A and B are shown apart, each in its own frame.
Chain A
């Protein structure tokens, strides 16, 4: 009985070696194709943006290297500085209003007893409306004659301002429109967070004598901190990148009241055809988002890890 065990001396044959290599290659083959698109296009564009920012491009797309001149021009440009400040204010307003609204909505959706599915589904609708359409709709809601807002105000006998003509009001409307668009997603994330909290904890809190407000601030909020983090991150990204809505609603007006960085970038690159400066603004936007990410990672992820470590000791 010639056992095949004696034939296999334990050493790998060439065929085995190839089989091993093939098995190891599989995950790469799966992952690379998508990566080609992502890095190839987006990565290339980012790099291209940096390149553009240090070049001066003429009408025929010829480039000449100018070092940091574009950056200097841009950062010294008062219009840019104003737009940056405006952007920051816009983002802060959006985040504040947005998070508060989503928290309230999330709590409401959490506690509602009937038609849950209906209300939840309905609340996400704005997420699916394009930025342009949102802008058009809000224009019609807030237009001086013919808008819903003034329609209601008129019915109550209150003054009917020119929303989109007044710089401050127009800014507010932009914030509203932005919130309308981004609150639904944030709401659902927070709702998810609320649902992960064990009901028993609320019971324990009641026995301990905590009131509703106390329970919310001292128990609920800390427990959904990760979801809050996700919402915050998402809301800030979207707000910094707001473009479609503002372009279609006010085009940066009136009197540049809503000219945020992305709007000014568009202005520079497409209307003034200064790609170099436009690219600088791209770099600015990117950097802000990157900084935000790092900040959030530090704040939320690392602090969670620190808490976990402390809890163990």
Chain B
């Protein structure tokens, strides 16, 4: 607990009779960049807003810098927030937007001017200080929103899906800028998004949420390589992991998974598995390759989608749909038969009842 800068303890939240957060526990280190990711409605925005103080807490505690802030008003929590819609004051100039919070706190004028200048130079807003938000581009507005947060010199930065309103190209640019800013300031950041790519590329630590619960916490690649349950396995990775239900069969020394349609998928070793155990076989598209020889699984290609440097393939394994990712150009057409080789070191096996990893 000593090195957690922000901590959530048993947080619960309901709106009326609907419960949206069920017992959230999380610890965030100082200077960490934590991304809360999950599908719409999973509660990530609610959690963020509770941290900011915009939503009351039903039960549990939030503490920032070793101080329980449940009843502390937003302005005293040491936080700053960047909203999805930027929420800039449309009738105030950029300079006024930046200095608003300092004005509310009655800071001396010279301090205000200094802070505004500082934030503007970091974010390259200096030439825009006298403009109105309506005269700025999306990316510029985004930066003003960040500048507003900067000026408060907060202990924790909160981002609520800040890039959702930008087009694809800008998004990539701003991702890099936000990350660079974080590295420069080393400020604790909590970032909410529904885009798993943002989560993977920006986070020190990823928190996957679903339906008001935390599914898994860990470094991006950690979670990618070892998803603890079905939800996380399916959520991360694009295209998504292939998940095939079946049961374990033994033959001599080797173990395999037999799918409902009779096809056999290879396993690397028996491990703790038992015969006839029901299981879900997970393999990511990039870990399936087209085999040259006749040893691989027999499939029929249904769709070939060349996407430039990679090719998406849809295949049919006797009735079961599979997706593959190939970095080699594939010279095949829909309907062609082919053979697959599965990298069994990259298997993920899940128990169908609990959804947990085996």
Residues in A lying within 8 Å of B, measured CB to CB? 1, 3-5, 8, 10, 16, 19
Which B residues touch A4, using CB under 8 A? 66-68
Interface CB pairs A-B, < 8 A, 13: A1-B2, A1-B66, A3-B1, A3-B66, A4-B66, A4-B67, A4-B68, A5-B61, A5-B63, A8-B68, A8-B70, A16-B71, A19-B71
Which B residues touch A19, using CB under 8 A? 71
Which B residues touch A1, using CB under 8 A? 2, 66
Q: How many residues of B contact A (CB 8 A)?
A: 9
Question: Which residue of A is nearest B70, CB measured?
Answer: A8
Known: A5-B63, A5-B67. 16 other contacts (CB 8 A): A1-B2, A1-B66, A3-B1, A3-B66, A4-B66, A4-B67, A4-B68, A5-B61, A5-B66, A5-B68, A8-B61, A8-B68, A8-B70, A10-B61, A16-B71, A19-B71
Q: Is the interface of B mostly helix, strand, loop or mixed?
A: loop
CB distance from A8 to the nearest CB of B (A): 4
Q: B1-42 vs A: 1/0 string, CB under 8 Å?
A: 110000000000000000000000000000000000000000
Which B residues touch A5, using CB under 8 A? 61, 63, 66-68
Residues in B lying within 8 Å of A, measured CB to CB? 1-2, 61, 63, 66-68, 70-71
CB distance from A26 to the nearest CB of B (A): 14
* Cα A1 to Cα B66 with chains together (Å): 10
Which A residues touch B68, using CB under 8 A? 4-5, 8
* Cα A8 to Cα B2 with chains together (Å): 17
* Cα A19 to Cα B67 with chains together (Å): 20
Which B residues touch A10, using CB under 8 A? 61
* Cα A205 to Cα B98 with chains together (Å): 50
Which A residues touch B71, using CB under 8 A? 16, 19
* Cα A3 to Cα B61 with chains together (Å): 13
CB distance from A3 to the nearest CB of B (A): 6
* Cα A280 to Cα B35 with chains together (Å): 70
Minimum-distance CB pairs A-B, first 8: A8-B68, A5-B68, A5-B63, A3-B66, A4-B67, A16-B71, A4-B68, A4-B66
* Cα A8 to Cα B62 with chains together (Å): 11
CB distance from A15 to the nearest CB of B (A): 9
Which A residues touch B70, using CB under 8 A? 8
CB distance from B10 to the nearest CB of A (A): 10
CB distance from A5 to the nearest CB of B (A): 5
Question: Which residue of A is nearest B7, CB measured?
Answer: A5
CB distance from A258 to the nearest CB of B (A): 51
CB distance from A39 to the nearest CB of B (A): 30
Question: Which residue of B is nearest A8, CB measured?
Answer: B68
* Cα A15 to Cα B229 with chains together (Å): 45
* Cα A8 to Cα B69 with chains together (Å): 10
* Cα A8 to Cα B228 with chains together (Å): 34
CB distance from B62 to the nearest CB of A (A): 10
* Cα A76 to Cα B2 with chains together (Å): 89
Question: Which residue of A is nearest B67, CB measured?
Answer: A4
Question: Which residue of A is nearest B73, CB measured?
Answer: A19
